[in-house]
Structure 1
């Protein structure tokens, strides 16, 4: 086990050993709250390191599959207990490394514990069905079999929850894993992997490797020993994953973001709607794939809703996420900070009116970090870039609609289809919304962000592939069906 402390060099975990990269080169993980603070060093790994990781997973897959689902589930229970014991340390690391507030980080880590226990329970659930045969003397049934070696590539915005909701089902259903986290959150990821290491998984079952997307990520995507890959991140990389996996005939699973709408009808509870829009749009500094970024309001209540939204938004306290009373932390990196500023300028040039926030915070406690106040744009045309392109930051576009039909049409006017929400007290309106909205996650009188771990998660159109994550649906991706016919 590697020593996990501040400014440690966090090694790769290959074949149950914490090992240095063959390059011996490291990259600093910088805190977005203070760019002079180094959270830790991670290895800039090579193709040779990747080869060792994939080979270890390939060699381990047969024994891990034969171990049995119940026994595999027991390992996940152990991991859950270890993660729970280390919750405070991992949550604090998460906040330091990507900036979300400590209460949010603790909530995410606790969710990781719950996900592990949910999938540990899968160890004792069915993995097939008995099917009647036309031959009365025969037995026919299906059996779920693992893919083999699964690659896991994850983003920086949920560095505990997303890796776990990918790795836990992959492991319990009998696959071995090669895990590459985003560099911006790799220290947090290393601490999560250490929980798996302490649980005593057999050699080669879980392998962890850090490094650039161009070397490690691309190498993993293209590796001939890979039997499946699950990816959450940008559209550009997602397209590469799809092309490579399709060319080799292996399974792939993609989640690539959204431009998620909330519709506010004229009969909505406006106070509840404002609360949900603020939470969905600005929690985690808007850096969620399910974040509310387009707010479509019926004209009769548009001005009243806008006034309430601006008033509540201006109360938000931005700052260091480790401090009490801070509601929103910084952007996760300088790159993301610059992206948010860029889109705010685009919105202004397009003719939208910035009516709240969008200010870079300055002063002693802010100058070394990437802090910006939550922004609201008024007079937004549905075709503007700020209403079409994923910003992944605390920016909301207000759009006026004359009626529900127009609002739904505007909501669907995007290449994405991840999540969508409506606030209404009219049952006819909510039923029409459920039927007509083009989104994989549909929420009524609730924010667009968030999904329960036992429910399928994924989008439509350009947001996701057809394979859903989380809940029982995860089995569909991580296993194949084998139909067995036995003649008596």
Structure 2
């Protein structure tokens, strides 16, 4: 049954001023309509921004523990509805039931985490040079934030932008990606039931052009964006040119280095989890396995052996779901052709699976290429599908050089039994996240997250206590008595 959603503006569930709507469909069965949404336009965004501005002063003056209590109640509501949300996410974005359930739980945990963080936003007391001065800092809300989020983590990323903003006393307008906006809108249903004051948080379902309107709006004080590097660069330039603060987390070409002393089977398991999990549709997905020549052949055999048994199909029953759209599927298949044209060897996968259960769904096989040169397009460009390029190297120095030979620098990992090698990798790799004996995907919510180079604007980090910094301004007070 198709669900009908509305925009949430100034505490009310409303349609679009355009009167138009759009539908989302199930990527495992594209003829199946999942939900209907208002096709918001600039006027809708204007109303939401105005509501956020009008609510900003009162929300900033609301004590932190009271703001946290609302987030805590919302977390409980989300937790109670976790199975429903999981099914919605699977139907609209295509993740497996287990992957969608994990993402929903992460959103719940994020709301609980920032509910507690809201208690500690009082600033710091410092020692003054003179005897008659109280010297301290205050953390104050930045104002109004525009939040623009992608389709690949449709509830977790909105949660990790929205929760710290609200905890900090900043009001917000969220525009989720139109391929899978439902889980994000569900966050606002929970906040509404939890007693969030009118106008404090607003959501509009709209195209990218309305997002551009929000970024350029003079009453938006801060812009947080997650998405492609090409769009993120434009978002950042537009925001900072008018004096707003901006943070953008963007693409990745994430490597896993497999050292000479690594267990090939264990390394293959790590790479497969990072490369094929969530159908490769993660900015932190492993797309390059950089493997020492001593273990290369055995590693390739183990990686193929890990890829081939993966059961593909609708996410509510199988190991790997579809890609989110026909465009994403075609992009992945195009890169398969590009890799072959560049001389890489297809070790497994590379096509659409055949069988009745796949129907017209956007399914693709987990794919491994070998004989990949570090300069090949498959080794340099973000694919955003379940494709791993294996690059053979002669020593650790070459491995790190290849890992760093990328415009991106988001997540990177090394598989090794030698802690000296691990420490060298941590010191030398150019990435915002460095992991040892672990897949490139997967993040702890209480530590900072972000990239370097073209993966990030390198301004503010998200998540953890550092995630609050973007939504607050520091005022230093000299109180002489």
For normalisation by structure 2, the TM-score amounts to 0.99
Contact 2:121 2:168 in 1 (8 A): no
- Counting only pairs closer than 5 Å after superposition, residues 361-376 of structure 1 correspond to structure 2 as 361-376=353-368
1:486 maps to 2:462: no
- Counting only pairs closer than 5 Å after superposition, residues 280-359 of structure 1 correspond to structure 2 as 280-323=274-317, 326-359=318-351
What is the CA-CA distance between 1:108 and the residue it aligns to?
A: 0.6
Secondary structure, aligned partner of 2:179: helix
Identify the residue that residue 426 of structure 2 maps to in structure 1: 434
Distance 2:205 2:229 in 1: 21
What is the CA-CA distance between 1:454 and the residue it aligns to?
A: 0.4
Identify the residue that residue 450 of structure 2 maps to in structure 1: 458
What is the CA-CA distance between 1:9 and the residue it aligns to?
A: 2.6
Distance 1:8 1:124 in 2: 37
Identify the residue that residue 115 of structure 2 maps to in structure 1: 120
Identify the residue that residue 57 of structure 2 maps to in structure 1: 62
- Counting only pairs closer than 5 Å after superposition, residues 74-93 of structure 1 correspond to structure 2 as 74-93=69-88
Identify the residue that residue 251 of structure 1 maps to in structure 2: 245
Distance 2:183 2:134 in 1: 49
Identify the residue that residue 3 of structure 1 maps to in structure 2: none
Distance 1:356 1:362 in 2: 15
- Counting only pairs closer than 5 Å after superposition, residues 138-157 of structure 1 correspond to structure 2 as 138-157=133-152
Distance 2:206 2:161 in 1: 19
What is the CA-CA distance between 1:311 and the residue it aligns to?
A: 1.1
Contact 1:361 1:367 in 2 (8 A): no
1:397 maps to 2:398: no
Contact 2:147 2:173 in 1 (8 A): yes
Distance 1:191 1:481 in 2: 32
The count of aligned residue pairs is 480
- What RMSD in Å do the two structures reach over aligned CA positions? 0.9
Q: 2:232 aligns with which of 218, 232, 238?
A: 238
Distance 1:188 1:454 in 2: 22
Distance 1:181 1:126 in 2: 28
Secondary structure, aligned partner of 2:372: coil
Contact 1:282 1:394 in 2 (8 A): yes
What is the CA-CA distance between 1:193 and the residue it aligns to?
A: 1.9
Q: 1:107 aligns with which of 92, 95, 102?
A: 102
Can you list the C-alpha shifts for 1:309-339, whole angstroms capped at 9, x where unaligned?
111111111001111xx11000011111111
Distance 2:146 2:107 in 1: 19
Contact 2:64 2:121 in 1 (8 A): no
Can you list the C-alpha shifts for 1:139-181, whole angstroms capped at 9, x where unaligned?
1111111111001100000011100010000000000010000
Distance 1:469 1:393 in 2: 24
Q: 2:415 aligns with which of 399, 403, 423?
A: 423
Contact 2:121 2:139 in 1 (8 A): no
Which segment is superposed worse, 363-372 or 304-313? 363-372
Structure 2 unaligned blocks of 5 or more: none
What is the CA-CA distance between 1:240 and the residue it aligns to?
A: 1.4
1:32 maps to 2:24: no
Contact 1:39 1:187 in 2 (8 A): no
Distance 1:104 1:280 in 2: 13
For normalisation by structure 1, the TM-score amounts to 0.97
Secondary structure, aligned partner of 2:356: coil
Contact 1:47 1:219 in 2 (8 A): yes
Can you list the C-alpha shifts for 1:160-214, whole angstroms capped at 9, x where unaligned?
1100010000000000010000001112222222111211200000100011101
Identify the residue that residue 169 of structure 1 maps to in structure 2: 164
What is the CA-CA distance between 1:18 and the residue it aligns to?
A: 0.5
Q: 1:267 aligns with which of 239, 253, 261?
A: 261
Identify the residue that residue 201 of structure 2 maps to in structure 1: 206
What is the CA-CA distance between 1:307 and the residue it aligns to?
A: 0.7
Secondary structure, aligned partner of 1:312: helix
Q: 1:227 aligns with which of 213, 221, 224?
A: 221
Distance 2:67 2:467 in 1: 16
Which segment is superposed worse, 244-253 or 392-401? 244-253
1:278 maps to 2:272: yes
What is the CA-CA distance between 1:126 and the residue it aligns to?
A: 4.2
Structure 1 unaligned blocks of 5 or more: 1-5
Distance 2:298 2:355 in 1: 34
Identify the residue that residue 464 of structure 2 maps to in structure 1: 471
Superposed structure 1 runs of 4+ greater than 2 Å apart = none
What is the CA-CA distance between 1:241 and the residue it aligns to?
A: 1.1
Distance 1:33 1:282 in 2: 17
Contact 1:11 1:19 in 2 (8 A): yes
Secondary structure, aligned partner of 1:406: helix
Identify the residue that residue 13 of structure 1 maps to in structure 2: 8
Contact 1:231 1:255 in 2 (8 A): yes
